[in-house]
C-alpha cells in the first residue's frame, strides 16, 4: 500500500525519457486523411476538420475569416438558431477558427453523440447559405468591435508590427478595416466557401475515447464529399515578405494615453530552419517565461511594466521573433533600452549553468504538461502535420533542450539578437 506520509522523490524533468504517443492515420474513401489519438478515461471526443482556407487563399480581404465565422449561421435546412439548438441539445460545442493558412470547424462532445452530430457538421460544410441578414449583423458587430479596438494601443501596435514585418499586402500583414467589412458580399462568401470548404482540401483530426466504429462513422458522412487532395497548397503559395524600410516608429494613437504599447520584432524563418529549436531555448531565457531575463529586469527590478514577453510567431510559411509589452508613457524609452541591454549581455556573456539547467527543466516540464491527455497530443500532431513535420521534430527539440551549450546559445544570440535587424514600434 502507498505510504502517503512519505513524500515522493523529486526528479528533474531533464531526467525523464519523454515520448510522444503515436498517431494513427487512415484515409476515407475520397482520400481525405484522418489522424487519430484514441486515448483517455472519459467518454469524450473532439473532431476537427481543417481546411486550407485561411486568408492566404482569399482574393478579397476579410473573406476567409468572415466565411469561417458565418459557417454556422444557416444551411439549406436549418437556421442559425436551429443549428445552435441541435448542438446544445447534445451538450456539444461547435467551434470555428481561421488563421493565415488554415481554418477549421470542430465539435467537442460525448463520444456516444457522434452519430447525431457528425451529419450536422457535414451539413455545415456542404450546405451553408450565409443569409444576408446574418452577414449584415456580422458586418455591423465587427465594425463596432473594430472601432473600440482601434482606441487601444496594444491592438494598433499588433496590427502595425505585422505590417512592418511582412508588408500591408502580405497575408500576415493585412488587417481589418471598416471599408473592407462594408465591401463584403454574400457572393464573395459563397464563392470562397464552395471552393475552399465544400470542394476544398480537408484533413481530419480526432481525439478522445473514440467509438470502435469511428472509421466507419467518418467515412459514412465525409468519405463521399468532393474534397480535393492537394496537400501541397501551402508550399505553392508564392508570396514573400516586403518589410518596411522604416525600422523605428512612434505612433500617437491617443493623446491622453498614459502608457505605450511596445513591439520589437524581426523576421525569422519557419520551423524548418536548423536554428528553430535553438532559438526557442534562447528565447525562453530572454523573455519566454515568467523567470526570464526581460521579466526579471524590466518588471521585477525596474517596475516599468506588469509583464514583458518574447515569442516566435506561430505561422506556417514564415515567422518572426517578437518582444511585446506595455509600459508607462514616461518609461517606454527606458524599457526599450533595457531590452537591448539584456540582448547585449546574451551576445557577450555565457549563460550560467544553473540558469540554463532551470530553463531546461522549465521547457521540458512544459512539454510534459502539453502531452497531458489526448486533446493536447492531437494538437501537437496537428501542428506537425500542417507544418509538414513528423515526430523527429519532437525528439530533436527534446535533444536540443537537453544538450545545447551556453556557447551555442551565445552564438545564436549574436546571430539573431542584433538591434539593427529589428523593427521597433511604440504606440501611445
Instruction: Assess if residue 127 is contained within a domain.
Output: yes
Q: How far apart are CA 381 and CA 366, in angstroms?
A: 16
Confidence of residue 161 (pLDDT cuts 50, 70, 90): very high
Average pLDDT over residues 17-28: 94
Query: Could you please report the per-residue DSSP string of 318-336?
Result: -EEEEEEEEEEGGGHHHHH
Query: What is the per-residue pLDDT across 203-229, written as a single tens digit (0 to 9) for each?
Result: 999 999 999 999 999 999 999 999 998
Which pLDDT score is estimated for 15?
A: 82
Confidence of residue 163 (pLDDT cuts 50, 70, 90): very high
Residues 293 and 389 reside in one and the same domain: yes
Sheet of 319-328, strand order = 248-251, 423-427, 259-268, 319-328, 308-312
Same domain, 267 and 325: yes
Together in a domain, 315 and 393: yes
The closest alpha carbon to 259, from 194, 335, 189, 184, belongs to 335
Whether 216 and 281 share a structural domain: no
Structural domain for 72, as ranges: 20-236
| pLDDT per residue as tens digits for the range 322-336 | 999 999 999 999 999
Q: How far apart are CA 47 and CA 59, in angstroms?
A: 29
Q: Is residue 6 part of a domain?
A: no
| Listed residue (112, 73, 71) closest to 91, CA to CA | 112
Residue 53 included in any domain: yes
Residue 243: inside a domain, yes or no? no
Q: Collapse the DSSP code of 206 into the 3-class scheme (helix H, G, I; strand E, B; otherwise coil) and give the result.
A: strand
In a domain, 253, yes or no: yes
For residues 87 and 222, membership in a common domain is answered with yes
Q: What is the mean pLDDT of residues 5-25?
A: 88
| Domain's final residue, options 182, 203, 236 | 236
The whole-model pTM stands at 0.92
Question: Is residue 400 located within the same domain as residue 255?
Answer: yes
335 and 217 both lie in a single domain: no
Q: Answer yes or no: is 342 within a domain.
A: yes
Same domain, 229 and 312: no
pLDDT the model gives residue 237: 85
Q: Residue 14 — pLDDT band, cuts 50, 70, 90?
A: confident
- Confidence class of residue 233 from pLDDT cuts 50, 70 and 90? confident
Residues 352 and 224 in one domain: no
Q: What is the mean pLDDT of the chain?
A: 95
DSSP, res 58: -
Q: CB–CB of 305/327 below 8 Å?
A: yes
Compute the C-alpha angle 363/95/71, nearest 5°: 140
In a domain, 31, yes or no: yes
Residue 235 or 85, more confident = 85
Residues contacting 145, CB < 8 A, separation 6+? none
Q: How many domains does the chain have?
A: 2
> Same domain, yes or no, for 220 and 273?
no
Asked which of 178, 211, 236 is the last residue of a domain, the reply is 236
CATH number of 377's domain: 3.30.830.10
Span 295-309, average pLDDT: 96
Domain's final residue, options 194, 212, 236:
236
Torsion sign, CA atoms 241, 246, 252, 257: positive
Predicted pLDDT of residue 101: 95
What's the whole-number mean pLDDT along residues 148-177?
95
Assess whether 40 and 96 both reside in one domain. yes
For residue 6, pLDDT beyond 90: no
Residue with cell 475520397: 30
Looking at the structure, do residues 192 and 116 belong to the same domain, yes or no? Answer: yes
Q: Identify which of 35, 422, 425, 380 has the alpha carbon closest to the alpha carbon of residue 206.
A: 35
> Do the domain assignments include residue 10?
no
Amino acid at each position: 500500500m502507498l505510504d502517503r506520509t512519505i513524500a515522493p522523490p523529486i526528479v528533474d524533468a531533464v531526467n525523464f525519457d519523454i515520448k510522444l504517443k503515436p498517431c494513427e492515420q487512415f484515409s476515407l474513401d475520397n482520400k481525405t486523411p484522418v489522424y487519430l489519438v484514441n486515448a483517455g478515461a472519459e467518454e469524450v471526443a473532439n473532431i476537427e476538420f481543417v481546411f486550407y482556407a485561411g486568408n492566404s487563399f482569399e482574393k478579397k480581404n476579410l473573406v476567409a475569416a468572415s466565411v469561417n465565422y458565418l459557417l454556422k449561421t444557416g444551411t439549406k435546412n436549418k437556421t442559425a438558431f436551429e443549428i445552435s439548438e441541435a448542438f446544445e441539445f447534445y451538450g456539444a460545442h461547435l467551434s470555428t477558427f481561421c488563421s493565415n493558412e488554415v481554418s477549421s470547424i470542430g465539435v467537442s462532445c460525448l463520444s456516444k453523440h457522434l452519430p447525431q452530430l457528425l451529419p450536422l457538421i457535414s451539413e455545415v460544410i456542404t450546405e451553408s447559405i450565409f443569409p444576408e441578414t446574418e452577414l449584415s449583423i456580422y458586418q455591423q458587430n465587427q465594425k463596432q468591435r473594430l472601432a473600440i479596438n482601434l482606441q487601444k494601443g496594444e491592438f494598433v501596435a499588433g496590427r502595425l508590427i505585422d505590417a512592418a514585418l511582412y508588408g500591408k499586402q502580405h497575408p500576415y500583414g493585412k488587417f481589418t478595416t471598416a471599408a473592407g467589412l462594408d465591401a463584403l458580399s454574400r457572393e464573395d462568401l459563397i464563392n470562397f466557401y464552395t471552393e475552399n470548404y465544400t470542394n476544398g482540401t480537408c484533413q481530419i483530426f480526432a481525439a478522445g475515447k473514440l467509438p470502435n466504429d469511428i472509421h466507419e462513422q467518418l467515412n459514412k458522412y465525409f468519405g463521399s464529399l468532393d474534397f480535393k487532395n492537394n496537400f501541397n497548397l501551402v508550399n505553392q503559395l508564392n508570396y514573400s515578405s516586403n518589410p518596411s524600410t522604416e525600422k523605428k516608429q512612434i505612433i500617437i494613437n491617443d493623446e491622453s494615453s498614459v502608457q505605450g504599447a511596445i513591439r520589437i520584432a524581426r523576421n525569422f524563418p519557419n520551423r524548418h530552419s536548423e536554428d528553430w529549436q535553438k532559438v526557442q531555448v534562447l528565447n525562453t531565457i530572454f523573455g519566454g517565461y515568467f523567470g526570464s531575463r526581460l521579466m526579471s529586469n524590466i518588471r521585477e527590478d525596474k517596475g516599468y511594466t506588469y509583464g514583458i514577453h518574447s515569442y516566435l510567431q506561430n505561422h506556417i510559411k514564415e515567422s518572426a521573433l517578437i518582444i511585446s509589452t506595455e509600459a508607462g508613457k514616461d518609461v517606454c524609452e527606458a524599457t526599450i533600452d533595457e531590452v537591448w541591454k539584456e540582448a547585449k549581455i546574451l551576445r557577450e556573456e555565457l549563460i550560467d549553468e544553473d540558469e540554463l539547467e532551470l530553463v531546461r527543466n522549465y521547457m521540458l516540464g512544459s512539454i510534459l504538461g502539453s502531452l497531458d491527455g489526448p486533446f493536447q497530443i492531437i494538437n501537437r500532431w496537428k501542428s506537425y502535420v500542417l507544418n509538414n513535420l513528423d515526430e523527429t521534430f519532437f525528439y530533436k527539440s527534446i535533444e536540443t533542450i537537453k544538450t545545447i551549450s551556453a556557447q551555442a546559445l551565445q552564438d545564436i544570440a549574436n546571430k539573431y539578437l542584433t538591434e539593427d535587424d529589428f523593427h521597433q514600434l511604440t504606440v501611445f
